Structure 1
Amino acid sequence: MTRFDRYVLSQLMVLFGFFALILVSIYWINRAVLLFDKMIGDGQSTAVVVELTLLTLPRVIALMLPMAAFAAAVYVTNRMSSESELVVMQASGFSPFRIARPVLVFGLIVALMSGLLGHFLVPASTERMRERQAEISSNITAKLLSEGTFLHPTNGVTFYIRKITQDGALQDVFLSDRRDPEITMTYTAAQAYLTRDGSSTNLVMIEGLSQGYVPEDGRLFTTHFTDFGYDISAVVNTDVSRGNNVEFLTTPQLMRDPKKVMRATGVSPGAYAIELHDRFNQSLIGVAAALIGFSTLLVGGFSRFGVWRQIIGAIGLLVVIKMIESAVAEPVLRNAALWPLVYLPSVSGVAIATGLLLWVRRPRRRRRAVIQEAPA
């Protein structure tokens, strides 16, 4: 690798780190706020929220790496063009493909990082997050035993405890169940206890009042009780869907025995093909994004007015790649034999970048031909 290659590659890596940090931070913070809101509302501790938030980080990084590679390539190419560095390299005899060599190496480095995340870290973190969510959802006391806070363990249910005594008694309990559209049940009690009966958990309320409100005709039914048992297990949503289980398997596990994986997870051959091959395609997208960002700006050449038109064109090409990525999913889902279509977005991106580099080289050949035919 020459000094020029090392220089361009170092610039790309520095800007890549910067843009990756910015993009990951923005996207991750947005997701973390939603998760924080939900988990704190369920009465979870800050430590649990931080753990689950960190488990989402590998997937967020994997999503943002191609975008960061594209942004770094565009920024570095734009700066080198505005400072006439590219003009000097082309005047010294460097072809567009020769100048693009450090960009290709940069894209391969990004692809390696994306592959490590997509093949190993993202499945592992997704599986761990599912396990932790299952543990949290099955822990009813973690959801409900929170003093002075209105909790919403599931849609249409509100639960409140004013105070929890040292012997486990719940004082001044409020429970509102609005899941049935025909009647809303509200329970209040001076004291209550949580008791377990096999797999179910009951809320035993003492000295309380139950109110049933029928919205259709506006009637209200009230009943005073000395003690009343309520199955709280039905209120707490303990079902955590496993979703598509192939997401929790690393790529070597997916490739070891495809038929066994499909039987164990219940996915169709098309869904299996998409999950497996898309992991490789996402790595190659990083190469395509970097090359498109570089080659599109190289078409514009040097201009005192900048290359903003080429930047818009590069963004447009990236949007086209993402549209192709969305379009190929449905055919492969219907017919697994069409799995090569999964690689169409990355192959198209590299082909577009190659075509742009060939386009940049054409005028240079014509100018050389004119110079050679000119009379002495």
Structure 2
Amino acid sequence: MAKIDRYILAQLLVQFGFAGLVLVLLFWINRAVRLFDQIIASGETALVFLEFSAMILPGVIVFVLPIAAFTASVTVINRLNVESELVVAQVTGFGPFRLARPVWAFGVLAALFMLVLTHVLVPMSQLRFAERQAEISENVTARFLTEGSFVHPAEGITLYIREITTEGELLDLFLSDEREIETGGVQATYTAQKALILNTEDGPRLLMFEGLAQILSPDGRLTTTGFDEFTYDVSELLTGPVIGNRTLRQLYTPEMLTPTPALLKETGETALALRAEAHFRNAQAFYVIVAALTGYSMLIVSGFSRFGMWRQVVISIGVVASFQTLDNTMLDMARRSEFGVMLVYLASAIGLLFNVVVMWMATRASPLALRKRRREARLLAREVAS
């Protein structure tokens, strides 16, 4: 790369890192506050909070990466304009397409980073995040089992345990379930001499021995049943997810491109929708290039201005937002259309074509505008010499 290319690329990378850091911190703090409340309410330590915070970072970075690329491009080009470096480069023969070379390189680097995030890091972190949530949620004893006092692990649930032995046995248990009363259902009360918590594939279960079940119907009829052994589902008492099907963000791209019947049943999605989501991960990387080029082309076409380019910056923000809206719309159409999987790339293709046209327009500047730029460059050179 030429020296000016390396110079502009270095400026872009520095601004990209700074803008990305600021945006990630803003969005991460927003999510971390809610996560902190959940972790503390679960009785976990600060180390668990830090672990969970690290797991949500890839998802946050994916969201802010196009914004950071656009911000870096606009900031660098505007500064080059204000400091007249852009004018000097143009009057020495560097056209809009030539000056766009480091912007292209920057966009490609950011797009490669986005591909690694969407195809590897985000599914890996999201899957691990769900697994750790399930591990914490299944630790029922640490979550809401307290001996010698009445606790309310969920609305409408009252639980009392006289003693919890070192072997994990729950002695003299009382459980009242009033969740169905408001909907006209029954009120259930269970008592047992002993109980155990079992972790099953479907979540934690409460296994009670030698007890009594009392069911009070809405009409006031009380039914009592003695039992030697009774199983009660306690997974619904947990505030966090216990175990469940994977979401789209937790799936790796190869299995989405060739979904099996088991995967379709697990996600509840169609094969077309899964393939569209897989291709959309590639489209997100192309959109990063579009965002970087838009920040460059919309400013370069306006030419040199001593008063800054804030109007062009505002317009470029609107253009990028329009491309993002089109991107999301095409994804929705691709999920439903039998032959529309490639629609997810339409917004990026239009964006690239748009930027090429804008840069071509910048090369078609009138002779008067060119003479004005040369005159301003000579004046600038004289000011520097004096």
Question: Scaled by the length of structure 2, what TM-score is found?
Answer: 0.76
Over 3 Å counting, the alpha-carbon distance change for 1:25 and 1:194 in structure 2 is: farther
CA distance in 2, matches of 1:47, 1:87: 52
Over 3 Å counting, the alpha-carbon distance change for 1:53 and 1:362 in structure 2 is: same
CA distance in 2, matches of 1:184, 1:13: 64
Give the aligned partner of residue 225 of structure 1. none
In the TM superposition, structure 1's runs of 4+ consecutive aligned residues that sit over 6 Å from their partners are 146-152, 158-171, 173-176, 183-187
Give the aligned partner of residue 131 of structure 2. 131
CA distance in 2, matches of 1:24, 1:183: 47
Aligned counterpart for 1:265 among listed residues 255, 263, 268: 263
| 1:294-337 deviation line (CA, Å, top 9, x unaligned) | 11112232223221111111110111011101211222111242
Counterpart contact for 2:151–2:158, Cα < 8 Å: yes
My pick for the range that moved more, 48-57 or 118-127, is 48-57
Give the aligned partner of residue 78 of structure 1. 78
My pick for the range that moved more, 2-11 or 141-150, is 141-150
Correspondence list, 1:280-359, <5 A: 280-359=282-361
Provide the secondary structure at the position in 1 that maps to 2:365: helix
Give the aligned partner of residue 41 of structure 1. 41
CA distance in 1, matches of 2:78, 2:39: 44
Over 3 Å counting, the alpha-carbon distance change for 1:178 and 1:312 in structure 2 is: farther
Cα offset for 1:147? 9.1
Give the aligned partner of residue 12 of structure 2. 12
Over 3 Å counting, the alpha-carbon distance change for 1:314 and 1:40 in structure 2 is: same
Equivalent residue pairs, number = 356
Cα offset for 1:126? 1.6
Instruction: Give me the identity figure in percent.
Output: 39
Cα offset for 1:193? 7.4
CA distance in 2, matches of 1:284, 1:236: 44
Provide the secondary structure at the position in 1 that maps to 2:234: helix
Cα offset for 1:366? 7.1
CA distance in 2, matches of 1:322, 1:359: 23
Aligned counterpart for 2:245 among listed residues 242, 247, 261: 242
Question: Scaled by the length of structure 1, what TM-score is found?
Answer: 0.78
Provide the secondary structure at the position in 1 that maps to 2:339: helix
Over 3 Å counting, the alpha-carbon distance change for 1:313 and 1:272 in structure 2 is: same
Cα offset for 1:247? 3.4
| 1:173-194 deviation line (CA, Å, top 9, x unaligned) | 998856332589799x9xx976
Counterpart contact for 2:334–2:344, Cα < 8 Å: yes
CA distance in 2, matches of 1:273, 1:341: 12
Provide the secondary structure at the position in 2 that maps to 1:337: coil
Provide the secondary structure at the position in 1 that maps to 2:206: strand
Counterpart contact for 1:153–1:235, Cα < 8 Å: no
Provide the secondary structure at the position in 2 that maps to 1:195: strand
Over 3 Å counting, the alpha-carbon distance change for 1:58 and 1:367 in structure 2 is: closer
* Letter of the 1:242 counterpart: N
Counterpart contact for 1:35–1:49, Cα < 8 Å: yes
Give the aligned partner of residue 372 of structure 1. none
Over 3 Å counting, the alpha-carbon distance change for 1:291 and 1:193 in structure 2 is: farther
CA distance in 2, matches of 1:33, 1:174: 35
* Letter of the 1:41 counterpart: A
Give the aligned partner of residue 87 of structure 1. 87
Counterpart contact for 2:160–2:175, Cα < 8 Å: yes
Counterpart contact for 1:140–1:236, Cα < 8 Å: no
Q: Unpaired segments of 5 or more residues in structure 2? A: 223-229, 372-386
| 1:147-173 deviation line (CA, Å, top 9, x unaligned) | 9999875565577999989797999x9
| 1:70-108 deviation line (CA, Å, top 9, x unaligned) | 111111111111111111111111110111110110000
Give the aligned partner of residue 373 of structure 1. none
Give the aligned partner of residue 101 of structure 1. 101
* Letter of the 2:120 counterpart: F
Counterpart contact for 2:135–2:242, Cα < 8 Å: no
CA distance in 1, matches of 2:27, 2:60: 7
CA distance in 2, matches of 1:103, 1:155: 56
Cα offset for 1:139? 2.4
Over 3 Å counting, the alpha-carbon distance change for 1:111 and 1:125 in structure 2 is: same
* Letter of the 1:241 counterpart: G
CA distance in 1, matches of 2:188, 2:236: 13
CA distance in 1, matches of 2:53, 2:146: 22
Counterpart contact for 2:280–2:331, Cα < 8 Å: no
The answer on 1:201 being equivalent to 2:201 is: no
Cα offset for 1:270? 2.1
Over 3 Å counting, the alpha-carbon distance change for 1:322 and 1:161 in structure 2 is: farther
CA distance in 2, matches of 1:268, 1:289: 31
The answer on 1:55 being equivalent to 2:58 is: no
Q: Unpaired segments of 5 or more residues in structure 1? A: 222-228, 370-376
Over 3 Å counting, the alpha-carbon distance change for 1:41 and 1:26 in structure 2 is: same
| 1:14-58 deviation line (CA, Å, top 9, x unaligned) | 110011111111111211211221232233333333222211111
Cα offset for 1:342? 0.2
CA distance in 1, matches of 2:101, 2:325: 27
Correspondence list, 1:176-215, <5 A: 179-180=179-180, 181=182, 195-196=196-197, 200-201=205-206
